[in-house]
Amino acid sequence: MNTIKKSILFLFAAASFTACKKEVKIEKTSTTVIKDNMATDAVTKSDYATMADGTKIEKYTLKNKNGMTMEVITFGGIITSLTAPDKDGKYQDIVLGYTKADDYFNGNPYFFGAIIGRYGNRIAKGKFSLDGKPYQLTVNDGPNSLHGGKGFDKRVWTADAATDGMPSIRLSYTSKDGEEGYPGNLTTAVIYTLTDDNALEITYDAETDKKTIVNLTQHSYFNLSGDFKTILDHELELKADKMLPVDATLIPTGELKAVAGTPFDFTTLKQIGKDINAADDQLKKGQGYDHCWVFTDASKELREVGALYHKASGRYMQVFTDQPSIQFYSGNFLDGTKASKNGGKYEKRSGLCLETQHYPDSPNEPKFPTTTLNPGEKYHTKTVYKFSVK
């Protein structure tokens, strides 16, 4: 961009900033978003790809003051790359993603990097009722509904730079009453922020005009090694003394089971590969880890709930959330059919998800914490993935 154009853009940004105090509006046609007190390239916008129906998808690149970057596309709010430093200060991409835009647009069976909604995880047979009124959701995973059917991961979101002084974008999407079978118009906003201390902060907000159910999460697959080969050498800690056993279709049985003395005990850092092949009925059902862990600390405050560590690179990722549980999915269904970013293929267990959320199938389990959202209530949750080395 030449200097004159830069100045015009700056003036435009400065004017908008003065007009609305905090927020600097993004000029529609610009490729650079200028934000107050940040480097000019803290948030940049560019064309990503055009879908078959002509919809243009944009890509936002966020960069914090240390050089950590994140790329997000407006399709599915998908995080297509996220870099973190290793023990030598080398930044490498640590999330799985496709090499071709079409792989995101045409199915994305793995839900790589996406915002998940309205209901993250499974609902048995896609059925639930509210105040005695039955609802039928789209069934897309054997007999069950998974991740909202044609969910938020497959919707086009509206993006805007957010306002908190650090590189940040706000994605919004309104899900119509009846979409995929869910009641109520649900207005949703997800904000991704890269903080100065190398954390990715995610906030989720939603409101409805009819009683409904909501359980939003993020489906990034992490591999802290930088080579996308395996997560079996990663160590995991989950501050959770119980997990939810599942049936053959991965629906919780309703029981909360103590993890002590089982392969599901991650109460202190443990290598993921250590017990993953143990003779265990639950591991057999999940084809590895694909379960919900219930945090020992049941408070609704943002607290540290676990961590992921890759010794060779030194990368350490702490997880904080205000949610009651987490789905740890060890990438069991990755099958080597998709090209990885470093020239190989995404093999089984080459990435893992740590999806902070409410328990699966809660609408059908009165004992589980509620996922009902009423008109007038504000759904607001927060999760933080913080990167450092050790």
Confirm if 9 and 30 have CB atoms less than 8 A apart: yes
Separation between Cα atoms, residue 347 and residue 338, nearest integer Å: 8
Burial 326-353 (b: 16+ CB within 10 A, else e): bbbbbbbebeeebebbeeeebbebbbbb
How far apart are CB 291 and ligand BGC at their closest, in Å? 8
Catalytic residue among 180, 207, 355, 358: 355
Helices assigned H by DSSP within the chain: 3-19, 101-105, 281-286
Residue 290 annotated as lining a ligand binding site = yes
Q: Which amino acid is at 335?
A: D
Residue 325 Cβ, how far from ligand BGC at the closest point, in Å?
A: 12
Question: What are the Cα distances from residue 269, in Å, to 13, 111, 235, 254, 318?
Answer: 47, 27, 6, 27, 12
Q: Of 159 and 238, which CB lies nearer to ligand BGC in the complex structure?
A: 238
Q: Which has the closest alpha carbon to 290: 111, 162, 170? A: 111
Q: Is 201 or 290 the residue whose CB approaches ligand BGC more closely?
A: 290
Residue placing its CB nearer to ligand BGC in the complex, 154 or 170: 154
Beta strands 43-50 and 56-63, pairing class: antiparallel
Whether cis (ω within 30° of 0) applies to the bond prior to 118 is yes
- Whether 71 is a known active-site residue: answer no
Using the Cα atoms of residue 98, residue 229, residue 245 and residue 298 in order, give the sign of their dihedral: negative
Q: Classify strands 315-321 and 379-389 as parallel, antiparallel or unpaired.
A: antiparallel
- Quickly tell me which residue has 């099958």 as its tokens: 335
CB of 181 to ligand BGC, least distance (A): 19
Q: Which one, 69 or 357, has the nearer CB to ligand BGC? A: 357
3-state secondary structure of 298: coil
Nearer to ligand BGC, 152 or 316 (CB): 152
Q: Whole-number minimum distance, CB 213 to ligand BGC, in Å? A: 17
Give residues in contact with ligand BGC (CB under 6 A): 110-111, 250, 290, 327, 329, 333, 353, 355
Query: Least distance in Å: CB of 126 to ligand BGC?
Result: 15
Q: Which two tokens stand for residue 298?
A: 């049941």
Which lies closer to ligand BGC via its Cβ, residue 65 or residue 345?
Answer: 345
Flag whether 219 is marked binding: yes
Among candidate residues 71, 179, 207, 219, the one labeled active-site is 219
Sign of CA dihedral 167, 114, 287, 100: negative
Q: Is 105 left (phi over 0), alpha (psi -120 to 50) or beta?
A: alpha
Closest distance to ligand BGC from the beta carbon of 365 (Å):
17
380 annotated as a binding-site residue: no
Q: Per the annotation, where are the binding residues for beta-D-galactose?
A: 121-122, 219-221, 290
List residues with catalytic annotation: 219, 355
